[in-house]
Amino acid sequence: MKRRKIPDASEEQVLGAILEWLQIVARDGVWATVEPRGGFIRGKPTRKVYAAGIGVPDIVGCLGGRFVGIEVKARTGKLRDSQRDFGSRIQENGGFFVVCRNLDDVEQAIARIRSEIYRTKGGTT
């Protein structure tokens, strides 16, 4: 796949590149979807209610039967405490949580996760 370098890419541009890569290249054994980010106003008094919950990674999915959360950040983006806490809960429950700032990060993360799953399942994925 021809790589398109995006200097100082926005979070949305990185997210788009990662989703395209997951759908085209890494689809073998990978299921992934984007979590809804917005909220809606509900009740009186009005308040914002988040569809997926606060801190849920941008991309969630499964690889080899294990939950994977991918938080996408721009080059200088920082994790919020809610994102860090959610990531810790994923890992405490046997899943994988990664922060990716570019396509190379996600490729390396998926390879590392596949390797870990292969090792723990005794050579079968």
In a domain, 2, yes or no: no
pTM: predicted TM-score of the whole model, two decimal places: 0.79
As a whole-number percent, the residues of the chain with pLDDT over 90 amount to: 46
In a domain, 6, yes or no: no
Determine the structural domain holding residue 77 and report its residue range: 11-120
Q: Long-range contacts made by residues 23-31, C-beta under 8 angstroms, separation at least 24?
A: 25/1, 26/107, 26/110, 29/63, 29/64, 29/114, 29/125, 30/61, 30/62, 30/63, 30/110, 31/61, 31/62, 31/63
In a domain, 67, yes or no: yes
Query: Cα–Cα distance between 6 and 94 in angstroms, integer?
Result: 33
Tally of structural domains, the chain: 1
In a domain, 5, yes or no: no
Tens of pLDDT along the chain (125 residues) come to: 455 555 678 888 999 999 888 888 766 777 888 866 655 556 666 666 666 678 999 999 999 889 999 999 998 999 999 999 999 999 999 999 999 999 999 999 999 999 998 887 765 54
CB 44 within 8 A of CB 54: no
In a domain, 98, yes or no: yes
CATH number for position 46: 3.40.1350.10
